[in-house]
Amino acid sequence: MNIHIKELNKYFNQFHVLQNINLDIRKGELIALLGPSGCGKTSLLRIIAGLEQPSSGQIFFNDQDISNKDIRERRIGYMFQHFALFRHMTVLENISFGLRIKPRKERPSASDILAKSKHLLDMVQLSNLADRYPDELSGGQKQRVALARAMAIDPSVLLLDEPFSALDTKVRRELRQWLSNLHHEIQLTSVFVTHDQEEAMEIADRVVIMNKGVIEQIGSPKEILDTPKNDFVYHFLGETNHFSVGEQNFTFRPHEVILSIHTEKVGYFEATAIDIRPLGAVTKIVLKPKDSDYPIEAQVPNTTRNLSSLNKGDKVYFRPIMDFEI
Amino acid sequence: MTPIIHKQTTLKRSLLLTLTWLVFGVIFLAPLSIILIEGLSKGLGFFWHTFANPVALSALKLTLFATIVSVILNVIFGVMAAWCITKYEFVGKSLLTTLIDLPFSISPIIVGLIYTLLYGSQSILYPFLMEYNLQVIYAVPGIVLATIFVTFPFVARSLISLMQEQGNTEEEAARLLGANGWQIFWLVTFPNIRWALLHGVTMCTARAMGEFGAVSIISGHIEGLTNTLPLQIEILYNEYNATAAFSISIILLIMAMIILFVRQWCERKITHVTSDAEQ
């Protein structure tokens, strides 16, 4: 299903949390709403779901204006940040809830409900935990139950609020990949909110970068990384170094720097290595440029020649690769 | 070193425990046992006679009636108030939250006076009430009204803190899955609050059964008609019939003990549920 959001505004009292939002989400896409906390991304998700009303503007699902439609007519699969599983129901009861409460005319037979719930349990690989209660599950298991419960009503769109934030790092990586694969399989239009740029870049088809209630940029992960539209987007997407010499200003990422231990070449600046940290595939080196008070961070592959002979306090020459001049 | 410290703490501990039991004995146990001793001092026959007397029976009936009606109404109002306060944002919310506690801080005798003035023969409402033949003061409706007023906070209070702690994402999840308001309440909210609700009900029941001040002013003390058990006890006592007064006290005491055990049981259920939620 396509989602079309047109000139949407939201005020909380005097606070303008969403300012003139225009966004098109294409059928089958996996979209990330990315931004720092308080940027309005969760409000936007809740408005799409119908949990909040916009102050003005419209939302279309497949050309149909649903701005004034009740939540129950929208058929939204929604996953809450802390999953919001029904604590007094078993896993199976949680998953079948959306089917069991349907009006009698639309409700499938008890055996169909059971069959469908079991199928969903298989899909999220939790068949052996059908009779457990939510407080007997790990974070990752809860997340998968929440997903299966949302999928039970054959949603027209899947909305996920910070789906991985309540999980620890290792589980987060596994589930991220799993969710991405699942999305490819079922091709359901999905929107997820995150403040973690790595997460957005890794699984989203397109990323919507938001800041202070406005959309700063919309694009594929590659477009956004290669051609950040403005200062905010550039800074938000990763570590940044600033360095100025005379009239020249340089802004560059830690990996966008070449180091040399040989004496001055053209375009290289002198610095002292004040910290060296091997981090697996790359080594992080903190440099204190000779003509600047602010340290800069360089990340070089650990296979870099002469790296092993570099010690704290040594003189080093560096050259920013990309001149992103501001 | 350790044995000495250990000895000291044991000493302190036993001293404190002795003191606690002493205070408990003087303030609670002694009066309670006197009720039993006095109430049964003229034998079981006398006890039974006092209790089987139509006036006492009518007082017991009225007490049970006023208690049951006010508990039912307070459950309905209390759940609605707790629902509004915890699930919605609205103007005057903090005022409402404060006002719910008002009956805790107002002396019951003032409540009695207010109702007497509001529904009594000097009130501007009185002719209107008479038109429909609605006697509020010195009648059962007044007693029920006063009991509702003084017991109102119990149900709402027990629910508000728990419902605030639980938040409303489960209700939102149910709504997104297609549940209507009725289904949300019965299938999601109610199972989460039932023990707290029962706890509130027991507190409310205990208070309603024992209410004296407000009811005393409103009832008019008509024996066999508007006397509740506490009022009947007062009348018997004033008639120098202490044994009978204590006999009836025993009935109230037994009812209170039953309620206390139910409450204890609910509290255990609640701590079990919340400790689950914290994991």
pLDDT in tens, B141-193: 899 999 999 999 999 998 998 998 888 899 999 999 999 989 999 999 999 99
| CB-nearest partner of A86 from B170, B277, B279 | B170
- Domain co-membership, B64 together with B117: yes
Q: With bands split at pLDDT 50, 70 and 90, how would you rate the model's confidence at A234?
A: confident
Task: Give percent of chain A with pLDDT exceeding 90.
Answer: 47
- Domain co-membership, B219 together with B254: yes
On whether the CB atoms of residues A31 and A191 are closer than 8 A, the answer is yes
Q: Which of A226, A177, A172, A217 is nearest to A196 (CA)?
A: A172
Q: Would you state the structure tokens that stand for residue B67, as one six-digit string?
A: 């208690």
CATH for B51? 1.10.3720.10
ipTM greater than cut 0.90: no
On whether the CB atoms of residues B268 and B195 are closer than 8 A, the answer is no
Cross-sheet strand order for the sheet of A64-65 = A15-25, A3-12, A56-61, A64-65
Chain A nearest-CA distance from B144, in A, is 36
Q: Would you state the structure tokens that stand for residue B166, as one six-digit string?
A: 């639980």
**3-class secondary structure, A264:** coil
CA-based angle A279:A283:A285, to the nearest 5?
120
- B187 interaction partners in chain A (CB closer than 8 Å): 86, 97, 101
Q: For residue B275, is pLDDT > 60?
A: no
- For CATH 3.40.50.300, list the domain ranges present in chain A: 3-232
C-alpha to C-alpha distance for A258 and A244, rounded to whole angstroms: 17
| CB-nearest partner of A71 from B175, B183, B277 | B175
Q: Got the DSSP string for B193-261?
A: HHHHHHHHHHHHHHHHHH--HHHHHHH---TTTT--HHHHHHHHHHTT-HHHHHHHHHHHHHHHHHHHH
CATH of A239-320, picked from 2.40.160.40, 3.40.50.300, 2.40.50.100, 2.60.40.2310, is 2.40.50.100
- State the best of B90, B168, B177, B269 to mutate against chain A, taking most chain A CBs within 10 Å: B177
A282 in contact with chain B, both atoms CB, cutoff 8 A: no
C-alpha to C-alpha distance for B15 and B132, rounded to whole angstroms: 65
pLDDT for B277 equals 46
Q: Would you state the structure tokens that stand for residue A154, as one six-digit string?
A: 């054959």
When divided into structural domains, chain B yields a total of 2
- Domain co-membership, B13 together with B90: no
| CB-nearest partner of A82 from B169, B177, B187 | B169
pLDDT for A153 equals 92
| CB-nearest partner of B176 from A76, A87, A88 | A76
C-alpha to C-alpha distance for B216 and B218, rounded to whole angstroms: 6
Q: What is the pLDDT of residues A246-287, one digit of tens each?
A: 777 888 888 888 888 877 677 788 888 989 888 888 889 999
| Residue in this structure with the two tokens 């006095």, named with its chain if needed | B38
Q: What share of chain B is helix, strand, coil (3-state, %, to 5)?
A: 85, 0, 15
Mean pLDDT of B97-111: 88
What average pLDDT does chain A have?
88
Q: What is the pLDDT of residues A133-157, one digit of tens each?
A: 999 999 889 999 999 999 999 998 9
CA-based angle B41:B42:B45, to the nearest 5?
125
A66 in contact with chain B, both atoms CB, cutoff 8 A: no
Mean pLDDT of B211-237: 87
C-alpha to C-alpha distance for A283 and A287, rounded to whole angstroms: 13
Chain B nearest-CA distance from A152, in A, is 9
- Domain co-membership, B122 together with B15: no
- B174 interaction partners in chain A (CB closer than 8 Å): 86, 97, 101
Q: For residue A236, is pLDDT > 90?
A: no
A134 in contact with chain B, both atoms CB, cutoff 8 A: no
Q: How many CA atoms lie within 13 A of A155 on its CB side?
A: 28
- Domain co-membership, B154 together with B31: no
Chain A nearest-CA distance from B246, in A, is 46
pLDDT for B279 equals 39
Q: Which of A217, A214, A195, A196 is nearest to A206 (CA)?
A: A217
Chain B nearest-CA distance from A299, in A, is 41
- Domain co-membership, B60 together with B168: yes
- Domain co-membership, B247 together with B216: yes
- Report the residue of chain B nearest A154, measured CA to CA: B177
Q: With bands split at pLDDT 50, 70 and 90, how would you rate the model's confidence at B3?
A: low
- Domain co-membership, B116 together with B223: yes
A185 in contact with chain B, both atoms CB, cutoff 8 A: no
Mean pLDDT of B228-236: 89
- Write down the CATH number for the domain with range A3-232: 3.40.50.300
- Domain co-membership, B28 together with B144: no
- A71 interaction partners in chain B (CB closer than 8 Å): 175-176
What average pLDDT does chain B have?
87
**Distance of alpha carbon A48 from the chain centroid:** 17
- Domain co-membership, B207 together with B85: yes
Q: What is the pLDDT of residues A181-207, one digit of tens each?
A: 888 888 899 999 998 888 888 889 999
C-alpha to C-alpha distance for A144 and A173, rounded to whole angstroms: 14
Domain enclosing residue B3, as ranges: 1-39
- Domain co-membership, B76 together with B135: yes
For residues A215-244, one letter each, b for 16 or more C-beta atoms within 10 angstroms of the residue's C-beta and e for the rest, the string is: bbbbbebeebbeebeeebbbebbeebbebe
- For CATH 2.40.50.100, list the domain ranges present in chain A: 239-320
CB contact under 8 A, B178 and A72: yes
Q: What is the DSSP letter of B134?
A: -
- Domain co-membership, B151 together with B264: yes
